[in-house]
Amino acid sequence: MAEKTPGLPSWANVSSKRRAHIERVADVVRDWADRLGTSKRERSRWLSAVYYHDAIKDASNAELRKLVPTERYIAALKHGPAAAVLAERFGEYDEGILDAVRYHSIGYAHWDMAGKILYMADYLEPGRKFRSEWREELRDYVVADPDSALFEVARARMKWLVESGWPIPRETLGFWNSIVKGD
């Protein structure tokens, strides 16, 4: 039986700009999987998480609220949990993939590699316009030392979050502490 190639799910609702971002994240992940000698199955898990993660980021706030009725997350943080709800509804049962998608904006202490890879690739994909050289170096660093690269990405994102003055979600704090302690 031919192996299913991960791609955008049938329920995706994305602009062409968003689709281009998702494809760039997928390209980064394919490159890392090749260079890390990742198994086909694991590579496919990582790519499933990539294709789900922003698949309904362009949906209306009302639609996102229907999928994620909690007031806990501001609108910008709802598309991850909402995508996880839809992925599960459409047959995804891999909890590691669902956690990768659900928490991709905020971090999660109990991620497996799918979550960590998505978190790094989403931030390090080459289309983003800040700190291009530093992020390019980090893309190589992921292949040499994924744990240290994850720490660097999380540190940069935490720094930004603190400086923004936004409240820090408890999942983000848990994620940060799990990395610092080397769990």
Residue of 134, 137, 98, 104 whose CA lies nearest to 118: 104
Q: Token pair of 156, please? A: 């940069």
Beta carbon nearer to Fe ion, 127 or 145? 127
Name the amino acid, one letter, at 25: V
Cβ(73)–Cβ(124) below 8 Å: no
Q: Give me the least distance between CB of 1 and Fe ion, in Å please.
A: 31
125 touches Fe ion (CB under 5 A):
no
- Stretch in the footprint of Fe ion (CB under 5 A) among 86-94, 119-127, 146-154, 171-179: 119-127
Spatial CB neighbours of 15, under 8 Å, sequence gap ≥ 6: 58
Spatial CB neighbours of 76, under 8 Å, sequence gap ≥ 6: 105
| Residue list 79-118, contact with Fe ion (CB under 5 A) | none
Cβ(52)–Cβ(13) below 8 Å: no
- Stretch in the footprint of Fe ion (CB under 5 A) among 37-45, 63-71, 89-97, 120-128: 120-128
Query: If you ran DSSP here, which 8-state letter would residue 75 be given?
Result: G
Name the amino acid, one letter, at 41: R
- Stretch in the footprint of Fe ion (CB under 5 A) among 41-49, 50-58, 82-90, 174-182: 50-58
Beta carbon nearer to Fe ion, 24 or 43? 24
The Cβ of residue 103 has, within 10 Å, a number of other Cβ atoms equal to 25
Beta carbon nearer to Fe ion, 99 or 122? 122
Which of 24, 44, 54, 85 contacts Fe ion by CB under 5 A?
54
- Stretch in the footprint of Fe ion (CB under 5 A) among 52-60, 94-102, 143-151, 159-167: 52-60
Which of 108, 122, 149, 169 contacts Fe ion by CB under 5 A?
122
Beta carbon nearer to Fe ion, 54 or 92? 54
Q: Give me the least distance between CB of 88 and Fe ion, in Å please.
A: 17
Residue of 175, 146, 130 whose CA lies nearest to 29: 146
Residues that bind Fe ion (CB under 5 A): 54, 122
